[in-house]
Chains A and B, each alone.
Chain A
Amino acid sequence: MNRTIAPPIKDAVDFDIKLKPYEQFTLDNGIPVYVMKSDEQETLQLELVFPAGSWYESESLEATATNFLMKNGTSKHTSQQINENVDYHGAYLNRNAYHENATYTLHCLTKHTEVLLPVLQEVILDPIFPEEELNLYKQNQKQKLAVNLLKCDFVGNRFIDKYLFGEFHPYGRVSSMMAYDALQPEGLQAFYKKHYTYNNCKIFVAGNLPANMIPLLNQYFGTTKWNGDTHLVKLDLPIQPAEEKKFRIFNDENGVQGAVRVARHFPNRYHPDFPKMLVLNTIFGGYFGSRLMSNIREEKGYTYGIYSQLYNFRQTSALNIQTEAGRDVCEATIDEIYKELLRLQNEPVPKEELDLVRNYMIGSILGDLDGAFQLIQRWKNLILNDLDENYFYNNIKTIKTITAEELQQLAKQYFTPGDFYELVVI
């Protein structure tokens, strides 16, 4: 046996990836339910999604605070009673507010679904935002913020988004002590009433469902027009990018590392360059074998890790390179980032590297589609962005067929160092 010879492999282009379809149901009041069944395990995931993200705020932090506090008291139960009930059944009731949407997600053993649905119903339909809970939330969030503000990576993330989008745009707005102080129960209640309504709700369910899952959902979420009809208008908001491009911030005089951020605007996912950039970005800084990682970590040892990412925001996206590097090598790191940008502009990606990235990306998508929870996640992202499976298949096709020439063209268009914001926070 010759160990220097690699075993034969099946190439990515030969994998026929199929996105398993979901089943769709409609509750009596019109709420759509998207279902991905799988009876291999005894577990279930139920997610309610609302257009209740920071986009819709009239006051900063309203969306996150509303989302967080809905679980902390209803007209029938205190937050402790709710928490105890969820914990008693070994369940997890998580909530999240993003830029566009806000969610409530229940994870539980299938056998506990029926007792937990009334809890979820109460939290969604009947929160009362007790003042004491809000005050505690403010106090604890402010303490957490005070700790985070000492971290260069946290501060770096805040500033780079501010430079890209402007501090008055939802994508660039950041939390502050003042914004926490300004929160009022009435404001949260009003935000809740307007955004967590039956006609704005979408439900995603995955896993091993009780046989009567749809009737149960109907019983708890489908019979009334809870919170009434609201028609939310979502217009694009103007971004206000910073005029300066280069920033250096000293946050901690004793810092031994700096947070490096190098970023530029990029069109959103509906633009034809977006799927192509997913490939170019992977080559550049999107996986462990990327140009940035190979050069800046594996060749020079400047950092524990460096990545570039494409934001998944709806209105407009951005390309952001981020790393924490040794204090003395932050500037050298930025130089190397620019060198790698220029290399992709000046030289076509070699065939072996492109083949490798195609295979890596397809393998990774195959792994991501493994299991009902992952599948419904993929569908959710399509559905919430008003897309269908053709978008997914088109991305796959781009990965399989994009040429080195197209990638170089794309680099010439988007990888010009002067177009990037750069920031170091020490």
Chain B
Amino acid sequence: MIHYNKFTLANGLRVIVHEDHTTPMAVINVLYDVGARDENPAQTGFAHLFEHLMFGGSINIPSYDEPLQMAGGENNAYTTSDLTNYYIQLPAENIETGFWLESDRMLSLAFDEKSLDVQRKVVSEEFKEHYINKPYGDVWHKMRELSYTTHPYRWMTIGKELSHIENAKLEDVKAFFFKYYRPINAILSVGGNVTVDQVKALAEKWFGDIPSGEKYYRNLPVEPAQTAAHKLEVKANVPLDALYKCYHMYARTDKRYYAADLISDILGGGSSSRLNQVLVKEKKLFSNIECYHFGSLDAGLLTIEGKLVKGVKMKDAEKAIQQELEKLQQEVISERELQKVKNRVESLLAFEDMSLLNRANNLAFYELLGDAALMNREFENYEVVTAAEIHEEAKLLFDEKNSNTIYYYAAN
């Protein structure tokens, strides 16, 4: 049970406070309700590029990092398709430094041409490092385009192509900032050796006078239900054939999300999971295989990916996966197996909650989902899933018409 207090400033900024007096540290987490899904299709990668620019100095403070490091603090940030999150960890005595820095960049950035110029290059190198100069690095780019026809999940957070990042203009940066980076679209979550009163006073002092901004109402194109299987063959300079299969699943707030999440664990969670046990160990068709999803807020993809053992035919490998999926559609799983995946969730949540940073971050995340209180009810959502529900969901999910497959062949 994670305890917290919640209040909202007059400008609409939602604030969550999680006191933990066992630590000398404090954490400040600022979540902005904007991600790659909110981008213009002609300017993809922008939300993430923007995250880099948030470190290029704000209206009153030329450098973000230096004063924070001087206060003994560290920070980082990440952008997903759904949201952008910034976090600081520093000695609790110096927490006001964090409020000063975060509030000034919410007030306004410096919008420096030089910073944009450099970060365009840095992000290009990030793009190359993760998605070009790496065996199989382009697969998610292809998979998203194969799986989504309409929804903005069809491009990756880093961007659809390098040129979108290279062509970013300072006026686009300004417009993006004043549309999304406003108190009304943000959640501030503070944790650690602090008190609610202290955080209230600091939040009022530093964030209270920032203009509220206009609430952003998201109205994204909805992905129509897929009616036929999508398949793609790729040949590339990789040493092993690989197989990727994705199935459309449910939005994060859909009740059926939990059954689908448990299904991914039955198939790919831990060494004893079905795909590992049957396809890697018993049939020796894959040298490794995984089943996962990204927990996307809108309907995401349940993914199975594996590298084939040299000499195994793609057709045989796919058939064996198919058989495992059919088994889930035909037979209700045992109570013990169901309990296993529930126990794994219970444990995962407990270990996640050990870190102060995770707790502050998750409180903000669940507040974005609708209410920070959801965090404390999360395990119940898993506990109530029945074997019969898993059976039903497996039938719907693993419908061949709902599948997207990439056959990734080694060129030589």
A residues whose Cβ falls under 8 Å from a Cβ of B: 1, 3-4, 6-10, 12, 15, 40-43, 79-80, 83-84, 86-92, 107-109, 136, 139-140, 143-144, 146-147, 149-152, 252, 254-257, 287-289, 297-304, 324-326, 355-357, 359-360, 362-364, 366-367, 370-371, 373
Cβ of A12 and Cβ of B340 under 8 Å apart? no
Residue from the set B59, B72, B97, B238 with the largest chain A CB neighbour count within 10 Å: B72
Residues of A within 8 A of B61 (CB): 3-4, 6
Cβ of A359 and Cβ of B69 under 8 Å apart? yes
Cβ of A302 and Cβ of B309 under 8 Å apart? no
Q: How far is the CA of A92 from the CA of B71 in the complex (A)?
A: 36
Cβ of A6 and Cβ of B97 under 8 Å apart? yes
A15-B91, A87-B344 are known contacts. Are A302 and B128 too (CB-CB below 8 A)? no
Residues of A within 8 A of B71 (CB): 9, 359, 363
Residues of A within 8 A of B281 (CB): 79-80, 136
User: 18 A-B Cβ contacts within 8 A?
Assistant: A9-B71, A10-B93, A12-B72, A40-B22, A80-B281, A87-B344, A89-B347, A107-B351, A140-B287, A144-B287, A149-B239, A152-B133, A257-B132, A303-B125, A360-B70, A360-B74, A366-B24, A367-B74
Cβ of A88 and Cβ of B343 under 8 Å apart? yes
Residues of B within 8 A of A146 (CB): 239-240
* Interface of B (DSSP majority class): helix
Cβ of B129 and Cβ of A257 under 8 Å apart? yes
Q: How far is the CA of A109 from the CA of B284 in the complex (A)?
A: 33
Cβ of B91 and Cβ of A87 under 8 Å apart? no
Residue from the set B133, B269, B287, B350 with the largest chain A CB neighbour count within 10 Å: B133
A83-B270, A151-B135, A297-B122 are known contacts. Are A370 and B23 too (CB-CB below 8 A)? yes
Name 7 extra pairs, CB < 8 A, besides A87-B272, A301-B122, A373-B354: A83-B270, A89-B343, A144-B287, A147-B239, A150-B237, A257-B132, A301-B125
Cβ of A356 and Cβ of B270 under 8 Å apart? no
Residues of A within 8 A of B344 (CB): 87, 90
Cβ of A289 and Cβ of B69 under 8 Å apart? yes
B residues whose Cβ falls under 8 Å from a Cβ of A: 22-25, 59-61, 65-67, 69-74, 89-91, 93-94, 96-97, 99-100, 103-104, 107, 117-126, 128-129, 132-136, 205, 237-240, 269-273, 277, 280-281, 284, 287-288, 307, 309-310, 336, 339-340, 343-348, 350-351, 353-356
* Candidates A83, A257, A356; contact of B70 at CB < 8 Å: A356
Residues of B within 8 A of A287 (CB): 69
Cβ of B135 and Cβ of A109 under 8 Å apart? no
Q: Give the distance to chain A from B201, nearest Cβ to Cβ, in Å.
A: 13
* Candidates B72, B103, B340, B351; contact of A363 at CB < 8 Å: B72
Q: How far is the CA of A367 from the CA of B92 in the complex (A)?
A: 10
Top 7 closest A-B pairs, CB basis? Answer: A363-B72, A301-B121, A90-B347, A83-B272, A90-B343, A146-B239, A7-B96
Cβ of B69 and Cβ of A4 under 8 Å apart? no
* Candidates B97, B132, B237, B284; contact of A9 at CB < 8 Å: B97
Residues of A within 8 A of B133 (CB): 152, 252, 255-257, 324
Cβ of A367 and Cβ of B128 under 8 Å apart? no
